Amino acid sequence: MMARKLISAGLFLMLALLITSPNHSAGSLSSQRPNVLLIVADDLRNELGCYGSSVAKTPNLDRLAKRGMRFDAAYCQYPVCNPSRTSLLTGLRPDTTRITDNNTNFRTTMPDVVTLPQVFRQNGYHTTSFGKIFHRGLTMEDLRTDMDDKASWDEVRYFQTTPLGFKGEGRNLTDGKLAWCNWRAAEGADEDQPDGQIAREAINVLEQRAKDKQPFFLAVGLHKPHDPFIAPKKYFDLYPLESLKLWQAPKEPLADPAAALPGGAFREAFGKFTDRERLEFMRAYLAGVSFTDAQAGKIIDALDRLKLTENTIIVFLGDHGYHLGERGWWNKSTLFELSARAPLLVYAPKMKAKGKATARLTEFIDLYPTLVELTGLKAPHKLEGRSFAPLLDNPRLKWKEAAYTQVTRGRFAGYSVRTERWRYTEWDEGRQGAELYDHQTDPHEYRNLINEPKHKATVEQLKALLKKKS
């Protein structure tokens, strides 16, 4: 009797040690929890083979879509780097984070918020950030301004282009008026560019984790296809200029509200593009897309080689969309579908609907609750998204009614609500214009129906839905 008591007391003590010791909780108890590989591309619109692009060459991401789920209606909350990333990494809408520009660190508005990687770190995961996860540029000035978040990561690293990687044919497409508008078909290898180094180092991290068995949250922030449009020459060679097609304006002239497109120096410079310059812009962006695809492919291949795929969730996304000349715009920051929508591919080892796509509406703020649910962790604060984990088993479930995207235009804001059929947008609460598009008949959002009497009731419904956002 005594011996049995002693044994059970001993067992109890061992169990208690297992639960309380941070090393053990990381190594043993959590070893059942899946790892997370989060790959974020910068300014990547849905220009991937798996999303029906007729031009982009993206075999690796197409393969990921076949293994996991392709989200066809995934929307960012703010089509600019820092606000979008802050929103998705805190699980909060931009009106809550109060981050709507590229210069403000979210710790100034939310000093105590627990970020997505941070919740994993607090639960014994090794968290790593390579490249651009939280917003950060690549100039020396950007690097001096510490925009990253030490509380979120065990390890943060940035990478620089080598001198060879700066060489090669290229030019500024605006005679220098827009300093960012440069392309270069670079000499050297992938590793002469930051993204190639990021892939190499990410693979090193995976090799370490395969050895030490510590659960990991590895965040890989690839810088392309964001400007400057620099990628190794071989990716430019995939896209001969004569194989590319420029956007053609519809026959009916577009009557966009003035606020719908940002103006200023950008629009002036884009207006001066020759067709040759437009084609060069497009080729340089696509080179960045294929370069991104190749780096993501290397990392996912390493995951397979190290047999980590069976216990690792893979998420690939672009932080927001992009216009490639549509409506004369060559950038982001609009509330049109091209800028608000972005790629989202998710693979989870235990998902039932592998290789399927879902047309259900998802928002990037849904990522935080999803990853927390899939790993059995607990969200430390009230999140504003909804876990899409159930869609990974059944992509046809009845789902979200609406997805919201917003942007600031000078002194006022624009808000857009997307349902499965409609997009409705208000600028300055309607004072600077409003838009209604029917995606059933007008996927390019060319016909603004806002003033058509027969849609009055729809507009009222969507107005109400827009108000429900927060």
Q: Using CB under 5 A, which of the segments 101-109, 172-180, 285-293, 312-320 binds Ca ion?
A: 312-320
For 167, left (φ over 0), alpha (ψ -120 to 50), or beta? beta
| Of 43 and 280, CB closest to Ca ion | 43
24 given a catalytic annotation = no
Nearer to Ca ion, 58 or 82 (CB): 82
Query: What does the buried/exposed string (b/e) look like for 425-464 if buried means 16 or more CB atoms within 10 Å of the residue's CB?
Result: bbbbeeebbbbbbbbeeeeebbbbbbeeeebeebbeebee
Quote the CA–CA distance of 259 and 295 in Å, as a whole number: 37
**Cross-strand partners of 23:** none
195 CB contacts (<8 Å, ≥6 apart)?
Answer: 131, 159, 222, 223, 224, 291, 292, 295
Kindly list the distances between the CA atom of residue 260 and the CA atoms of 84, 184, 332, 462, in Å, as whole numbers in the listed order.
19, 31, 11, 18
319 binds Ca ion (CB under 5 A): yes
Give me the least distance between CB of 110 and Ca ion, in Å please.
20
The least CB distance from residue 301 to Ca ion, in Å, is: 26
Note the Cα 469 to chain centre separation in Å: 21
Active-site residue, selected from the candidate residues 50, 76, 81, 181: 81
**Residue number with the smallest Cβ distance to Ca ion:** 81
Among the residue ranges 121-129, 180-188, 203-211, 314-322, the one whose residues contact Ca ion (CB under 5 A): 314-322
Asked if residue 326 binds Ca ion (CB under 5 A), the reply is no
Looking only at the bridges linking them, the beta strands covering 35-42 and 434-438 are unpaired
- Per CB under 5 A, does 43 bind Ca ion? yes
- Total residues contacting Ca ion (rule CB under 5 A)? 4
Smallest separation (angstroms) from Ca ion to the CB of 305: 30
Single residue of 48, 56, 64, 81 touching Ca ion by CB under 5 A = 81
In the shown chain, the binding pattern of residues 104 to 143 toward Ca ion, with x for contact by CB under 5 A and - for none, equals: ----------------------------------------
Q: Which helix (H) or strand (E) holds 403?
A: strand 403-409
- Residue 202, interface with Ca ion (CB under 5 A)? no
Q: Of 135, 223, 226, 323, which is the active-site residue?
A: 135
42 interacts with Ca ion by CB under 5 A: yes
CA angle 321–324–327, rounded 5-degree value: 100
Nearest to 365 by CA among 105, 45, 74: 74
What is d(CA 179, CA 171) in angstroms, rounded to the nearest whole number? 11
Q: Write the Ramachandran bin of 236: left for phi over 0, alpha for psi from -120 to 50, otherwise beta.
A: alpha
* Shortest Cβ 132–Ca ion spacing (Å): 8
- Closest distance between Ca ion and the C-beta of residue 227, in Å? 10
Q: Which of residues 224-243 bind Ca ion (CB under 5 A)?
A: none
- Cβ proximity to Ca ion, 42 vs 191, nearer residue: 42
Q: Is 363 in the site for Ca ion (CB under 5 A)?
A: no
Of 41-49, 110-118, 155-163, 299-307, the segment contacting Ca ion by CB under 5 A is 41-49
d(CA 296, CA 62): 11
Least distance from Ca ion to the Cβ atom of residue 468, Å: 27
User: Is 76 known to be catalytic?
Assistant: no
Respond yes or no on whether the N-terminal peptide bond of residue 163 is cis (omega within 30° of 0): no
Give the residue with the Cβ less far from Ca ion, 42 or 366.
Answer: 42
Cis status, amide bond into 228, omega within 30 of 0: yes
**Shortest Cβ 454–Ca ion spacing (Å):** 38
Catalytic center residues: 81, 135
Site residues, Ca ion (CB under 5 A):
42-43, 81, 319
